[in-house]
Amino acid sequence: MWVHKVRENRGANEPAQDEKLGLSARQPILANWKDIALYVGKSVRTAQRWELELGLPVRRPYSGSKSPVFAVRAELDAWLQAQKFRDESMSFGKSEKTLLLRALEDLRQENQELRRQLEIERAKK
């Protein structure tokens, strides 16, 4: 296999929170999109979109968008903490969809204002 699975030294009786998610806590490397998505709590498609649009730290041993991927848990944790959607507005229970809808409405209002300004400028000429 192209990914050598590194195992952490944990005590046998130490509970692992990731076991509830179906992930082995002994493997700090997530070896496919399904495990990466499960770890970040989103769908596979969202994780792939985050890689392209937001720079989710996944690695590809071969070049090309169709090559296998893997990710290091510590890098994912650091990346998630640094993202804007992990700010306090999300901690108050607002969903990603709600935030996107609010941003869309703000952009619509801005667009209307710019159109009004354009009409005024055209009327002056």
10-51: pLDDT as tens digits: 344 434 444 544 555 556 899 899 999 999 989 999 999 999
80-93: pLDDT as tens digits: 888 866 544 444 44
Instruction: Say whether pLDDT at 9 is over 90.
Output: no
Q: How far is CA 8 from CA 5, 34, 55, 103, in A?
A: 10, 21, 26, 42
Stated length of the chain: 125
Reported for 5-9, long-range contacts at CB under 8 A and 24+ positions apart, including other chains, are: 5/29, 5/31
- Which residues, in sequence order, are bridge partners of residue 30? 71
Instruction: Say whether pLDDT at 94 is over 80.
Output: no
11 close to 20: Cβ distance less than 8 angstroms: no
pLDDT score recorded for residue 33: 93
